[in-house]
Structure 1
């Protein structure tokens, strides 16, 4: 019973903090891209970095309740796993915007849904595995 409840709680917490991480990502992207008028790919990279930093802190503490004392190693693993989805994020953003499939903000939202799902899988199986 605990396994089911624990997993359900973990998924709910991940969705909450995944939503907040996505919000950080989109707000930072929008600020840099549309308010400051910086290139959309550079804006995307800044948004990615800041949202991954936010995600690491919240995932470690609230989602996966990590007790790992090797925080630097864990953080490197977390950022490394996010690098793969970050590269995918950049490629999909480039593709969707460059070929005028959707505007940059819609592309950012769609890509973030895909990234959140993949990030949970990587966090669960690689970074915070128990």
Structure 2
């Protein structure tokens, strides 16, 4: 625990803690995405579109909870504010889903790259895009008057 706290303190001093924790949970969301994609594809023999859609949905739900609670520490003052925040999150995740799906079809169908490598490349792009969307448009810090 001592090393964790030292690491966290150093990262916070350099203003990198939020990026680090986002990448940590983004990595976990990517694992969720990968596992469910290949499970849906192999266990249920689903096509690329259906497998990718199911894995995307699971990863988005996982990401909303982790981003809200641990990355951006966003506090909703009421249920309506939570719904608005979730709506913005879903909207921007749909944008990144379009990016994900477009890249998957380009890499797998047009460029004939194996879906594992295509999925890996697209997830790097999607994680970066999602961080920017979350930081700039979804979980903006509220300026509180004291």
- Coarse TM-score class (shorter-chain normalised): over 0.9
5+ residue gaps, structure 2: 1-11, 142-146
Computing the radius of gyration from Cα coordinates, the structure with the larger value is 2
- Aligned residue in 1 for 2:120: 109
Counterpart CA distance in 2 for 1:123 and 1:87 is 16
- Aligned residue in 2 for 1:75: 86
- Aligned residue in 2 for 1:38: 46
CA RMSD of aligned residues (A): 1.9
Higher RCO (CA 8 Å, separation ≥ 6 residues): 1
Counterpart CA distance in 1 for 2:33 and 2:84 is 24
Count of residue pairs the alignment pairs up = 130
TM-score, normalized by length of structure 2? 0.83
5+ residue gaps, structure 1: none
- Aligned residue in 2 for 1:129: 140
List 4+ stretches of structure 1 deviating above 3 A.
4-7
Counterpart CA distance in 2 for 1:43 and 1:95 is 16
Q: Deviations over 1:95-115 (max 9, x none)?
A: 111124311121111100000
